[in-house]
Amino acid sequence: MANEIRIDDLRTPVLNDMQRMGLEFGETQNTELTVDAVCAAAVAQTGLSDFGPDDFRERLEVQLDEMNADPERTGLGRMMMFGDCVRYASNRLRIRDLLKQHPEILDIKIEKPVIVIGLPRSGTTNLVNLLAADSRFRSMPLWESYEPVPDSREETPVDGVDPRWARCQGQWEAMQAGAPFIAAMHPMNPDHVHEELELMTPDFTSYNLEWVARTPKWRDYFLDHDQTPHYAYMKTVLQIMQWYRPRERWVLKSPQHLEQIGPLMATFPDATVVVTHRDPVAVVQSTITMLTYGARTSYKTSNPEWYRDYWIDRIGRLLDSSLRDRHLLPPDRTVDVFFHEYMADELGTLQRIYDMAGIEFTETAKAEVAAHQAAHPRGKEGRVVYDLRGDFGITPEEVRTRFSDYMSAFPVQIEVK
């Protein structure tokens, strides 16, 4: 097929001009990955200085120390890490400042959200974007998640484009130039509905870091600490976003929730939860191909075997936790969505979700969903061809052994043979 994408240089990347320029520039920079440097840059960027409770400093230090200790991280990769952390710290400052000015925000209700949880690469992104096409829902586009509180010193230009949207668009264009196949694997354009775990990053937690860096020490730290307070922080940021742009009900999604069902339900006890299911081997091969491809500018070697071993284990941990905590999901507000059934009947799947959530799937909503489908056809940016055996030296059968308990618990259709 003409739109098939075969990434045949995962092990020994062939860099394009933009990637080479970025790597060369990164090596000329002396990026100081310290808590003090990040906080100082955020203060300079925002003109604010009150970070609130300082417990975040320990979490940030764990992340930065692991990055500093990794000789494989490129100069560009260090710059990217610093830039992300400064954005998170700047958001923290603005969130704190806004809440001091408007404490009434904390009284805003976030009621009966519809929350999609499930493995990464299992249809969660597609599903939440379809749901978000219904204009009655409040959802969170990427640009808003990156900067939930606007800079009060900025004015919206005469063209009406929010400066935050413009910055996000610039980042997306840079990402496409630096990693041209990302659009086919995981679109990150400004209006794309994003995961609410982004709202935990100003509190310097979530498993988000694992997607952009090799951080097993952070994984262990993250999993060893109760995330309930950080889910509460995320809800506070949702209240801020609701204050800016109200809607009756939110639609949310994050695969991280699979292993945090307890904190999730403590935070949103009246939620309708949609659990997606897919062959874990398909999830693994998609995940490790995408991350190995993306590593070519962040790391000196792409190391496909590292991503293979890490993410087979990481997906296994997500599934094990979901099985352990499944009883915490209310049966009368939980919908299981199997990937093969969803792909065969998207509208039928949505109808089941609406019915469970007690929301009428109106003709207007159906028309909005249809318009989104027409504008975002499957494979629009191309279809990636995966090769577990050739690229990662492992068979689907070997990968699948890690997930036997999950496969026994749910009738997931095997995709990769």
Each residue of 385-397: pLDDT tens digit? 999 999 999 999 9
Which pLDDT band holds residue 203 (cuts at 50, 70, 90)? very high
Q: What is the pLDDT of residue 157?
A: 76
Q: What is the pLDDT of residue 159?
A: 79
Q: Looking at residues 208-225, what average pLDDT do you find?
A: 97
Q: What is the pLDDT of residue 290?
A: 95
Proportion of the chain above pLDDT 90, given as a percent: 90
Which pLDDT band holds residue 1 (cuts at 50, 70, 90)? very low
Look at the block and give the residue holding tokens 């045949």: 8
**What is d(CA 404, CA 48) in angstroms, rounded to the nearest whole number?**
51
pTM for the structure as a whole: 0.95
Q: What is the pLDDT of residue 186?
A: 83
**What is d(CA 244, CA 234) in angstroms, rounded to the nearest whole number?**
16
Sign of CA dihedral 290, 295, 297, 301: negative
- For the cut 80, the answer to whether the pLDDT of residue 311 exceeds it is yes
> To which CATH superfamily is domain 4-149+162-409 assigned?
P-loop containing nucleotide triphosphate hydrolases (3.40.50.300)
- For the cut 70, the answer to whether the pLDDT of residue 24 exceeds it is yes
Helix (H) or strand (E) holding 276: strand 272-277
Helix (H) or strand (E) holding 342: helix 339-344
pLDDT tens digit sequence for 315-345: 999 999 999 999 999 999 999 999 999 999 9
- For the cut 90, the answer to whether the pLDDT of residue 408 exceeds it is yes
**What is d(CA 331, CA 264) in angstroms, rounded to the nearest whole number?**
15
Which pLDDT band holds residue 187 (cuts at 50, 70, 90)? confident
Pairing between β-strand 249-253 and β-strand 137-138 as defined by DSSP bridges: parallel
Q: Looking at residues 103-126, what average pLDDT do you find?
A: 95
Q: What is the pLDDT of residue 379?
A: 73
Which pLDDT band holds residue 380 (cuts at 50, 70, 90)? confident
**What is d(CA 374, CA 377) in angstroms, rounded to the nearest whole number?**
6
Q: Where are the domains of the chain?
A: 4-149+162-409
- For the cut 70, the answer to whether the pLDDT of residue 188 exceeds it is yes
